């Protein structure tokens, strides 16, 4: 448990962990604290924050409870961010491992496909994908993953290129292990640490991309999203700026929390590896 | 009939536009239960020959016959199956194992891949293998990085003998060990050879060790065979220039075990 203690000694990591814990608590408690539809009308329209304590953060243009929307929005942001990052890391590390380990023609083909994805701006790719297939939570996750798997793929390939020359890969071949088993049992797990180090940046980027898609009206229409809330508030930005500011702050804190906690984890594991 | 017959083996590498022969037209054979040593200075092609014989690297020319079959003609599954008969022990006992592996997993792999023992039978087989190489069966649950270098090399030998091979390539297998451990590992190797009639292709730069364990020796220089013959005869009275240089460079020739 010394790794956990070392994690706690890094102040930014602790700050990040607290923010993330609060966020996860928000997401988990959303339907407990705010049962029912967060998109239902709860009071008078455009009630400013801190006026009515049954609606602490006020209401939006249609009289919906902003605090309830914020809690339910945390769910979407976290779910999409984590799922998209997990998909991107999984696809990226598998593609990178196959390319690096197989080499030759397979490497060429896979890396040219990676290049093709990388040359298209990832946000445009997500935008195009969602507008063609239609907005739903799963599609948004795939759309974001489409634009972000190339980074992990390149890092995994570079790592695999060095690992495949190691003696333990030669000894796995010498005992007659199947090449795919070597790639995924011997090589991939050892190539993962630098790939996983990218995960905080990818989660943060995925949350922002989701918010941006929702802002443009391409999020899942049946779910509250912070991006969608900001878009809603934009129309009354002069008279009720809090409608954009509140979800905006939530978004900034989330991205910051993910990033700080991720950095903290990378830092502590790096120290650990340095000691060995 | 010899166990392994290598003829006209050649491997070239390109470096800076020039083609350099790492192994140049090398031929030799190993009989069952025999130890053939390959010795020579760094860069003489010893390790390349080891990797060629195991087909970890493909040769540019030449023939390798193993157990009477054309080893270079084997493809994919047939090659993987035949690898059970031909094993290798590497120089650095830490680099030769997946850093995440436990001792049990390392020994489980060959038993599983070659269908030597059923899942329920394997723990007992692993314990027996550990005991065979002089280690406690309890070591099985330890991670590879937790055990000592000498223990690791014993695990490497256990992995190599798990599939009951007829030939083991020992690529500087004792060079990285300290002197006292080296003697014990050499004893173990000689004991395994006596009991199971395993042949060794023993690659080393240490002529003292070669003289102690090898039946025959081949001295390599720049990828070519400089001299070959009975190990003691060659080392006691080298005729080639590289042989004389190697013997002169050896600090002292100890041990007359055999």
Average pLDDT over residues A213-223: 89
Task: Specify the pLDDT at position A19.
Answer: 93
DSSP assignment letter at B161? H
CA B242 remoteness from chain centre: 23
Residue B193 pLDDT more than 70? yes
The radius of gyration of chain B's CA atoms, rounded to the nearest angstrom, is: 18
Token digits of residue B247: 């013997």
CA B116 remoteness from chain centre: 22
User: Is B199 contained in some domain?
Assistant: yes
- Please tell me whether the interface predicted TM-score (ipTM) of this complex is above 0.95: no
User: Is B254 contained in some domain?
Assistant: no
User: Is B89 contained in some domain?
Assistant: yes
Sheet holding B216-221, edge to edge: B86-89, B167-171, B199-204, B35-39, B216-221, B224-230
Residue numbers in B near A178 (CB within 8 A): 80, 113
The structure tokens 């991309």 sit at A209
Nearest CA in chain B to A164: B98
What number of other Cβ atoms are within 10 A of residue B148's Cβ? 11
What number of other Cβ atoms are within 10 A of residue B225's Cβ? 18
- The fraction of chain B above a pLDDT of 90, given in percent, is 81
Q: A39-56: per-residue pLDDT in tens?
A: 888 788 778 888 877 888
- Cβ separation B96–A171 shorter than 8 A: yes
Residue B186 pLDDT more than 50? yes
Residue numbers in A near B87 (CB within 8 A): 174-175
Residue A266 pLDDT more than 90? no
pTM of the model: 0.84
User: Is B258 contained in some domain?
Assistant: no
Nearest CA in chain A to B97: A168
Residue A167 pLDDT more than 80? yes
DSSP string, A72-92: HHHHHHHHHHHHHHHHHHHHH
The structure tokens 């083991």 sit at B168
Task: Specify the pLDDT at position A2.
Answer: 67
Nearest CA in chain A to B75: A176
Burial pattern B197-209, b for ≥16 Cβ within 10 A else e, equals ebbbbbbbbbbeb
Residue numbers in B near A168 (CB within 8 A): 95-99
CA B168 – CA B84 distance, rounded (Å)? 10
Average pLDDT over residues B163-171: 96
To the nearest whole Å, the CA of B55 is away from the closest chain A CA by 8
CATH topology of domain A2-45+56-275: MetI-like fold (1.10.3720)
Q: In which domain, by residue range, is B218 found? A: 4-249
With an 8 Å Cβ cutoff, the interface of chain A facing chain B consists of 166-168, 170-178, 186, 189-190, 276
Nearest CA in chain A to B165: A175
To the nearest whole Å, the CA of B192 is away from the closest chain A CA by 19
- Cβ separation A171–B99 shorter than 8 A: no
Among positive and negative, which fits the CA dihedral A208, A212, A218, A223? Answer: positive
- Cβ separation B87–A172 shorter than 8 A: no
Which among A176, A189, A190 has the least Cβ separation from residue B83?
A176
With an 8 Å Cβ cutoff, the interface of chain B facing chain A consists of 51, 54, 56, 79-84, 87-88, 90, 92, 95-100, 109-110, 113-114, 145, 156, 159, 163
CA B33 – CA B14 distance, rounded (Å)? 37
- The fraction of chain A above a pLDDT of 90, given in percent, is 62
CATH (domain of B20)? 3.40.50.300
Task: Specify the pLDDT at position B114.
Answer: 95
Which among A167, A170, A175 has the least Cβ separation from residue B159?
A175
Q: A145-165: per-residue pLDDT in tens?
A: 999 999 999 999 999 999 999
Average pLDDT over residues B6-13: 94
- Cβ separation A171–B163 shorter than 8 A: no
**Cβ contact A270:A3 at 8 Å:** no
A224 vs A267, which has greater pLDDT?
A224
To the nearest whole Å, the CA of A152 is away from the closest chain B CA by 21
Which among A168, A177, A178 has the least Cβ separation from residue B97?
A168
To the nearest whole Å, the CA of A164 is away from the closest chain B CA by 11
- Cβ separation A168–B96 shorter than 8 A: yes
Instruction: Work out the mean pLDDT of chain B and round it to a whole number.
Output: 92
Nearest CA in chain A to B99: A190
Q: B87-102: per-residue pLDDT in tens?
A: 999 999 899 999 989 9
To the nearest whole Å, the CA of B58 is away from the closest chain A CA by 13
Residue B250 pLDDT more than 80? no
Residue numbers in B near A174 (CB within 8 A): 54, 56, 83, 87-88
Q: A70-90: per-residue pLDDT in tens?
A: 999 999 989 999 999 999 999
**Cβ contact B82:B62 at 8 Å:** no
Task: Specify the pLDDT at position B157.
Answer: 96
Range list of H helices, B162-213: 179-196, 207-213
Residue B54 pLDDT more than 80? yes
pLDDT-derived band of residue A6, with 50, 70 and 90 as boundaries?
confident
Q: How far apart are the first and last CA of chain A?
A: 16
Domain count, chain B: 1
Residues B130, B133, B134: CA angle, nearest 5 degrees: 85
Which among A174, A186, A189 has the least Cβ separation from residue B83?
A174
Residue numbers in B near A177 (CB within 8 A): 80, 109, 113
pLDDT-derived band of residue A172, with 50, 70 and 90 as boundaries?
very high
CA A112 – CA A105 distance, rounded (Å)? 11
- Cβ separation A190–B90 shorter than 8 A: no
CA A79 – CA A73 distance, rounded (Å)? 10
Task: Specify the pLDDT at position A276.
Answer: 42
- Cβ separation B97–A171 shorter than 8 A: yes
Residues B205, B209, B214: CA angle, nearest 5 degrees: 100
DSSP string, chain A: -HHHHHHHHSHHHHHHHHHHHHHHHHHHHHHHHS-S-TTSB-SSTTPPTTSBTTBTT-B-TT-BBHHHHHHHHHHHHHHHHHHHHHHHHHHHHHHHHHHHHH-HHHHHHHHHHHHHHHHS-HHHHHHHHHHHH---HHHHHHHHHHHHTHHHHHHHHHHHHHHTTSHHHHHHHHTT--HHHIIIIIIHHHHHHHHHTTHHHHHHHHHHHHHHHHHTT-S-TTS--HHHHHHHHHTTTTT-THHHHHHHHHHHHHHHHHHHHHHHHHHHHHHHHHH-
């Amino acid at each position: 448990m010394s790794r956990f203690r070392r994690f706690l000694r890094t102040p930014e990591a602790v700050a990040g962990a607290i923010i993330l814990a609060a966020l996860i608590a928000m997401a988990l408690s959303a339907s407990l604290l705010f049962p029912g539809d967060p998109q239902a009308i709860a009071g008078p329209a455009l009630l400013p924050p801190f006026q009515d304590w049954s609606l602490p953060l006020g209401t939006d243009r249609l009289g919906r409870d902003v605090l309830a929307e914020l809690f339910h929005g945390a769910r979407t942001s976290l779910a999409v961010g984590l799922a998209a990052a997990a998909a991107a890391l999984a696809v990226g590390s598998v593609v990178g491992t196959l390319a690096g380990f197989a080499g030759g023609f397979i490497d060429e083909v896979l890396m040219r496909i990676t290049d093709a994805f990388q040359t298209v701006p990832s946000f445009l790719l997500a935008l195009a994908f969602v507008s063609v297939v239609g907005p739903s939570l799963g599609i948004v996750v795939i759309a974001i993953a489409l634009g972000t798997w190339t980074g992990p793929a390149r890092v995994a390939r570079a790592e695999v290129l060095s690992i495949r020359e190691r003696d333990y890969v030669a000894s796995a071949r010498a005992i007659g292990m199947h090449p795919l088993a070597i790639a995924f049992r011997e090589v991939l797990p050892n190539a993962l640490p630098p790939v996983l180090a990218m995960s905080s940046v990818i989660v943060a980027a995925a949350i922002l991309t989701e918010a941006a898609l929702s802002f443009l009206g391409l999020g899942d229409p049946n779910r509250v999203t912070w991006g969608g809330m900001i878009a809603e508030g934009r129309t009354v930005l002069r008279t009720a700026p809090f409608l954009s500011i509140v979800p905006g702050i939530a978004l900034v804190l989330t991205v910051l929390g993910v990033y700080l906690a991720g950095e903290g984890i990378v830092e502590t594991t790096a120290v650990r590896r340095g000691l060995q | 009939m010899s166990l392994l017959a290598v003829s006209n083996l050649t491997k070239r590498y390109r470096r800076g536009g020039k083609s350099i022969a790492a192994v140049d037209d090398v031929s030799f054979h190993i009989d069952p239960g025999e130890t053939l040593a390959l010795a020579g200075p760094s860069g003489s092609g010893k390790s390349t020959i080891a990797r060629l014989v195991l087909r970890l690297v493909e040769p540019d020319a030449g023939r390798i016959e193993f157990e009477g079959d054309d080893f270079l003609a084997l493809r994919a599954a047939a090659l993987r199956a035949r690898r059970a008969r031909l094993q290798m022990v590497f120089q650095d006992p830490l680099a030769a194992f997946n850093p995440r592996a436990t001792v049990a997993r390392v020994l489980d792999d060959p038993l599983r891949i070659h269908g030597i023992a059923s899942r329920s039978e394997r723990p007992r087989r692993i314990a027996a293998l550990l005991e065979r190489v002089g280690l406690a069966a309890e070591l099985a649950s330890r991670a590879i990085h937790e055990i000592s270098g000498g223990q690791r090399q014993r695990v490497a030998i256990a992995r190599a003998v798990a599939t009951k091979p007829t030939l083991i390539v020992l690529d500087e297998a004792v060079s990285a060990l300290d002197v006292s451990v080296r003697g014990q590992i050499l004893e173990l190797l000689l004991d395994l050879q006596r009991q199971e009639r395993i042949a060794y292709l023993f690659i080393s730069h240490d002529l003292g060790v070669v003289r102690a364990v090898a039946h025959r020796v081949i001295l390599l220089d720049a990828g070519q065979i400089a001299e070959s013959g009975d190990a003691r005869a060659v080392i006691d009275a080298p005729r080639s220039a590289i042989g004389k240089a190697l013997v002169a460079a050896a600090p002292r020739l100890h041990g007359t075990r055999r």
